Chain A
Amino acid sequence: MLAEGELERYDRQLKLFGEKGQRKLKNARVFVAGLGGLGSAVLNYLAVAGVGTIRIVDHGVVEATNLNRQILYSEDDIGRKKVVSAEERLRALNSETEVEIISRTIDPGNVDELVGDSDLIVDAMDNFPARYLLNATALRKNIPLFHGAVHGFYGQATTIVPKRTACLRCIFPQAPSPKAVPVLGATCGVVGCIQATEVIKHVAGVGGSLENRLLIWDGLNCTLREIDVEKNPECKDCQG
């Protein structure tokens, strides 16, 4: 049963997926990797939607160059650990959400432990080596991965469900060379909100999803298009 305060707080979305869906959100454990532009958008909406437990991982410190897109932070946060500022922000948004913070770099040796017993992974990273680690971990733990990435006015998102869909490496077998990319904050907002919507629907058990579809946002022309993707039997991560 939801408490009276929860019924009031979530009134507008209870109309979408009922108390049962809301309880599922309350019981969900979500792992969010990366507290940049995408992570900022995803986390704000997961917290206010009433996700019960959110584990956030990022080793970074807030810098002035983050503030054009990373809406978890304000000017006063410059120099502070991102996880600490993010935790404060998320608790202020929803004191009922349990926020677990980990200020570490995700690497092959710790990724299993960091993800722990989370129900799903949100990929809000800024590089492909880390994304591949999350992809492999999601496959190993048999939990879904919600991918998003941005560049300038453009963004992409897809939802990966082990055994059912193409995995991240099926779609992107090779990592692009790392470099600082231009990003409009609003692009992160669009893509992060798509990821958050995918997570909420998945947990609440409503609607369709971006399974085997790569959604491409073109902010310059304000269009959303999609590419059908397929598993690859030769994929070294999922073997199709």
Chain B
Amino acid sequence: MKGNVCKVRVRLFGDLAEVFQAREEEVELERASSIQGLLRLLCNSYQRRTKIFDKSGEVRSDINILRNGRNIAFLNGVETELDDGDVVSVFPRMFGG
């Protein structure tokens, strides 16, 4: 980590990879940024925003987010802070059988 920035690796799965036109990317953030900050940075178009956030600005119920293999629901939700080297996996919840 250099100065006040950290780098995290974002992995996108399912149709999110299509919408974000990337399966994986390294993102540079300010130190102590949260998942929320990361998502806001990534969602730089209407299509991307509506893919991740609902009308009230919450992460949609069909989106699953893990930080280093742990669901952020068990951490601090979208307020979960990110450290240098973290891996954030974002994927849609599938339930069909």
B71 & A218 in contact (Cβ 8 Å cutoff): no
In the complex, the chain B residue whose C-beta lies closest to that of A232 is B74
B73 & A227 in contact (Cβ 8 Å cutoff): no
Contact A220 B97, CB 8 Å, known A230-B69, A230-B70, A232-B70 = no
A172 & B93 in contact (Cβ 8 Å cutoff): yes
* Bound Cα distance from A155 to B96, whole angstroms: 9
Contact A172 B17, CB 8 Å, known A148-B97, A151-B94, A227-B89 = no
Contact A126 B66, CB 8 Å, known A218-B14, A220-B18, A235-B74 = no
B11 & A126 in contact (Cβ 8 Å cutoff): no
At the interface, yes or no: B48 with Cβ under 8 Å from chain A? no
B13 & A34 in contact (Cβ 8 Å cutoff): no
At the interface, yes or no: A48 with Cβ under 8 Å from chain B? no
At the interface, yes or no: B47 with Cβ under 8 Å from chain A? no
Distance (Å) between the CB of B4 and the closest chain A CB?
A: 29
Q: Please give, as numbers and ranges, the residues of chain A lying within 8 Å of B64 by CB-CB distance.
A: 171-172
For chain A, give the interface size range. Answer: 35 or more
Partner pick for A154 among B71, B74, B92, CB 8 A cutoff = B92
Q: Please give, as numbers and ranges, the residues of chain B lying within 8 Å of A127 by CB-CB distance.
A: 95, 97
Q: Please give, as numbers and ranges, the residues of chain A lying within 8 Å of B14 by CB-CB distance.
A: 151, 154, 216, 218
Query: Of the 9-residue stretches A36-44, A80-88, A110-118, which lies at the interface with chain B?
Result: A36-44
B68 & A177 in contact (Cβ 8 Å cutoff): no
At the interface, yes or no: A46 with Cβ under 8 Å from chain B? no
A151 & B96 in contact (Cβ 8 Å cutoff): yes
Partner pick for B97 among A150, A171, A177, A227, CB 8 A cutoff = A150
Q: Please give, as numbers and ranges, the residues of chain A lying within 8 Å of B69 by CB-CB distance.
A: 166, 212, 227-230
At the interface, yes or no: A26 with Cβ under 8 Å from chain B? no
A234 & B13 in contact (Cβ 8 Å cutoff): no
* Bound Cα distance from A34 to B15, whole angstroms: 25
Which A residues fall within an 8 A CB radius of B?
A: 34, 36-39, 124-128, 131, 148-152, 154-156, 166, 170-178, 181, 183, 188, 212, 216, 218, 220-221, 223, 225, 227-230, 232-235
